[in-house]
Amino acid sequence: MQTNLTKIREQTIKLFDTASLIPVKAIENTGAVCHPFAKSIFFFHQNKNKWLDISTPNSYAVYRRFILNRINSLSLPFIYDLILDDYKLTWFQLCKDYMSREDFAYYLKHSWLDEEDPNQDPTVTREEVIRYFRQADKQYLMKSEDLAHYRNLPDTLTIYRGVSPHRAKFGLSWTADQTIAIWFKKRYESGSQGQLLTAVISKKHVLAYIDERNERELIVDVFKIIPHIAEADTLLNNQAMP
């Protein structure tokens, strides 16, 4: 199957049209919003040489025409770049059925990596993400060195997960490196404590190994942990921050 760019453009426009401009309550009265294409109600239109307030109907219509023109003229990598990070997986979910095997794997991986907290995406469940990673062709999903590492994993391995405060405890992102897990546990600690988890898993339930950001990430089917997930706080007494 070849990537159907026409269908992907249609789905990307659908994402634009079904999403609302939601004000960011934490920074009210600044014009900040949540939207797949916009962080602010303020948009500088170069052709008109002026700022538009896209929270008003007329300016929103102008902004919509501008974005749709870009979607309909850009290639797939540039369409992907239009989507803000918090919505990458949502976009992938809408577009995945129209992608080649290579593009499916590539944009799944990058959607996963580009979202700040994909384990808590409100529209794409962990079960759905697991299914996508199982479907992905591993030769396209991983770089050659990561694929080699993945293939050399033992049949059963001990894994660790560092959970920052307010993050999903039972996410899909783990590592075999204790030091990296401890760093993730501590990176947002300020008053609230994170957690360090450990578990054992069969290699067949490790969906990918990705080290593109030096995080030695193992994406695992967390529902196949054996026999259970345990807290491993005692490791903190023996490990230093990386």
Quick one: 38 and 119 in the same domain? yes
The count of other CB atoms within 10 Å of the CB of residue 120 is 12
Whether residue 87 is contained in a domain is answered as yes
What is the model's pLDDT at position 109? 98
Whether residue 107 is contained in a domain is answered as yes
Whether residue 116 is contained in a domain is answered as yes
From first to last of its 242 residues, the chain has per-residue pLDDT tens of 999 999 999 999 999 999 999 888 765 667 899 999 999 999 998 888 899 999 999 999 999 999 999 999 999 999 999 999 999 999 999 999 999 999 999 999 999 999 988 988 889 999 999 999 999 999 999 999 999 999 999 999 999 999 988 787 889 999 999 999 999 998 878 778 888 999 999 999 999 999 999 999 999 999 999 888 888 765 555 544 44
Quick one: 47 and 124 in the same domain? yes
Quick one: 156 and 135 in the same domain? no
Whether residue 32 is contained in a domain is answered as yes
What is the model's pLDDT at position 236? 53
Is the peptide bond between 242 and the residue preceding it cis, with omega within 30 degrees of 0?
no
Helices (H) then strands (E): counts for the chain? 9, 10
Model pTM score: 0.90
pLDDT digits 0-9 by tens, 53-87: 999 999 999 999 999 999 999 999 999 999 999 99
Dump strand ranges (E) for the chain.
22-23, 33-34, 42-45, 50-53, 156-163, 173-175, 195-202, 206-210, 217-220, 226-231
Quick one: 32 and 130 in the same domain? yes
What is the model's pLDDT at position 134? 98
Q: Give the residue from 112, 139, 166 where a domain finishes.
A: 139
Q: Give the residue from 139, 161, 186 where a domain finishes.
A: 139
What is the model's pLDDT at position 120? 86
Quick one: 12 and 126 in the same domain? yes
What letter would DSSP give residue 192?
A: B
User: CA-to-CA distance for 226 and 222, rounded, in angstroms?
Assistant: 9
Quick one: 115 and 86 in the same domain? yes
What is the model's pLDDT at position 232? 79
Quick one: 163 and 188 in the same domain? yes
Quick one: 21 and 122 in the same domain? yes
What is the model's pLDDT at position 69? 96
The count of domains in the chain is: 2
The residue range of the domain holding 172 is: 145-237
Quick one: 167 and 54 in the same domain? no
Q: Give the residue from 123, 139, 155 where a domain finishes.
A: 139
Whether residue 242 is contained in a domain is answered as no
Quick one: 110 and 127 in the same domain? yes
What is the model's pLDDT at position 26? 60
Sequence-ordered list of residues with C-beta below 8 angstroms from that of 48, at least 6 positions apart, any chain: 62
